[in-house]
Amino acid sequence: MSTEQGALLGPADIRELAAALGVRPTKQRGQNFVIDANTVRRIVRTAEVRPDDVVVEVGPGLGSLTLALLETAAHVTAVEIDDVLAEALPATVQARLPEKAASFGLVHSDAMLVGELPGPAPTALVANLPYNVAVPVLLHMLDTFPTIERTLVMVQAEVADRLAAGPGSRVYGVPSVKANWYAEVKRAGSIGRNVFWPAPNVDSGLVSLVRRAEPIRTSASKREVFAVVDAAFAQRRKTLRAALSGWAGSAAAAEAALVAAGVSPQARGEALTVEEFARIAEHKEAGA
């Protein structure tokens, strides 16, 4: 262990651990393990993790980021679906950061099924999210744990761009709007391929999400607003009058709802803010 690396895992440590556990990262679970101590420290720094934070981490893998989080946070709860990795992680924490072992908790589960966490309520979410489930996991965690104030996730660069996109952007879509329902979202950096094992064939990006101090003011429920969003982007090239006809019951009813919400029936979904989608949801019955 080099002094610069400290308790953190380096490339040799990762490969040794993986070999001892018989672990090969699988594409099916989107596993790419971070092997660079500087990168995980940078993630913790960018996430602005504080000594009083209770952090939840999804997909900790062999524990690279977990150890870096434990160096700073008051408590870390990791959610891991993989049987072998979930069993091994507490021992890794105990071996490399014994003084922080009591501040670590593990939930062996699919993150999409987690409805509660042991210990204190989480204040931050920091994770290297598996590429294939990044958006649904992120939205589920934000929805399920309203105490999460700050989030920093590492995702595929393309997904990072989508999450942080604003109205009018070519990549603005369902993930952009739904993430913005919960938080102010922005790109927070890029991560190269060489800090992972195995190296993915795409670049990664960091996305910062700071929960809205005040929820979006609307009489519509989240489910109702998200139904409008899904319908609007299901057929991107269509005008909202056409795209929302199924949702509203007819093109005429869609037009009435749009006009009542102050949105042009000729507009397209990629031009609208989350607040405008909420207004449309409030007027679903208009003209029906």
The binding site for S-adenosyl-L-methionine comprises: 32, 34, 59, 80, 110, 128
Question: Considering only CA atoms, which of 208, 203, 128 is closest in space to residue 164?
Answer: 208
Other Cβ atoms within 10 Å of 192 Cβ, number: 11
Which residues are known binding-site members?
32, 34, 59, 80, 110, 128
176: tokens are 């952009």
Q: How far apart are CA 189 and CA 87, in angstroms?
A: 32
Whether residue 151 contacts residue 126, with contact meaning beta carbons closer than 8 Å, is answered with yes
Whether residue 62 contacts residue 92, with contact meaning beta carbons closer than 8 Å, is answered with yes
Report how far Cα 72 is from the mean position of its chain's Cα atoms: 21
Cis bond upstream, residue 198 (ω within 30): yes
- Tokens 């607040």 correspond to 275
Q: How far apart are CA 287 and CA 255, in angstroms?
A: 8
